[in-house]
Amino acid sequence: MAYETVLIEDAQGVGVRTVTLNRPQALNAFNETLKDELIDALKAAARDKSVRCLVVTGAGRAFCAGQDLKDRTDRSDQAGGGPGSFSASLRDKYNPMIMTIRTMEKPVIAAVNGVAAGAGCSLALACDLRVVADKATFIQAFVKIGLVPDSGATFLLPRLVGMGKAFELAVTGDPLDAGSALDLGLANSVVPGDALLTTTMDLATRLAQAPTRAIGLTKRAMNRALLVDLESALDYEADMQEIAGRSPDFAEGVNAFMEKRQPRFTGQ
């Protein structure tokens, strides 16, 4: 699929793919084309075994301003969840986008280059790690236009920053600056804007050279552990370890340790 609103770049030989939202004139707000193309690009990255770490970022000064408020179809007469309704928009487009990131068994890093608002904030929250430019902000913009947080924000935000802060951000719509995001654990690191992509690529390359099969299983286990009791989480860890322990990367890791050398993981 040739894309109009998404740029794809593969770093040669290191297993890192970068997906860039590319509607800078609209702060990378989601029109229908961008939603469709991003879902397709995410699914392609999930399928492609040569991609061992995915980076998501935005072109220009914003990460993503959420739903394109100038491009949306009139949903006023679409009550009841039918085609064109808000619920259909979420179920058909935004929810698959979020689920594809959360279920992709490889690390996904958001390089948050600027403002992340509404569903654009949710997109950043859905990624596994957030490397954040010092001028970037996170805005639960929904309340400003009379909507509720969506695209996973009600699930992901309280788990990242705690219920009290999540509720405050959701009901005020106040921007959270990069430094505060770091303090709250929402940002994994904050760097000057001109260092964002190199810092992110260094981290992405490191992860892509790691035992990515085990990282994928770790993601699966942690996703599930958010929803179950300790006993069930312990049991699932045992299952995941059975898979990881039978992988070529485990054999390589142990051999490298014995031979006192750096391991060469392949993601298998």
Place of tokens 């236009």: 145
Contact 49, 11 (CB under 8 A): no
- Minimum CB separation from ligand T3D for residue 17, in Å? 25
Using CB under 6 A, which of 6, 26, 53, 123 touches ligand T3D?
A: 26
Considering only the stretches 97-105, 135-143, 163-171, 219-227, report the one whose residues sit in contact with ligand T3D under the rule CB under 6 A.
135-143
Nearest to 119 by CA among 154, 153, 70: 153
**27 forms part of the interface with ligand T3D (CB under 6 A):** yes
**38 forms part of the interface with ligand T3D (CB under 6 A):** no
d(CA 188, CA 132): 8
Q: Kindly state the number of chain residues that form the binding site for ligand T3D, as judged by CB under 6 A.
A: 23
Using CB under 6 A, which of 15, 66, 211, 263 touches ligand T3D?
A: 66
Q: CA separation (Å) from 192 to 108, 130, 196, 206? A: 21, 14, 6, 20
Place of tokens 């794809």: 8
Considering only the stretches 26-34, 206-214, 224-232, 238-246, report the one whose residues sit in contact with ligand T3D under the rule CB under 6 A.
26-34
Using CB under 6 A, which of 117, 126, 157, 204 touches ligand T3D?
A: 117
CB contact set of 20 (below 8 Å; sequence gap of 6+): 6, 7, 8, 9, 56, 57, 58, 59
Strands 137-139, 176-177: pairing kind: antiparallel
- Minimum CB separation from ligand T3D for residue 76, in Å? 12
- Minimum CB separation from ligand T3D for residue 53, in Å? 26
- DSSP for residue 92: I
Q: Is the dihedral of CA 109, 204, 253, 46 positive or negative?
A: positive
Q: In this complex, which beta carbon is closest to ligand T3D, that of residue 89 or of residue 113?
A: 89
Q: Which of residues 139-158 bind ligand T3D (CB under 6 A)?
A: 139, 141-142, 144-145, 147, 150
**181 forms part of the interface with ligand T3D (CB under 6 A):** no
Residues 72-111, mask of contacts with ligand T3D (x by CB under 6 A) = x-------------x--x----------------------
H helix and E strand count, the chain: 11, 10
Residues forming contacts to ligand T3D in the complex (CB under 6 A) are 26-27, 29, 65-70, 72, 86, 89, 115, 117-119, 139, 141-142, 144-145, 147, 150
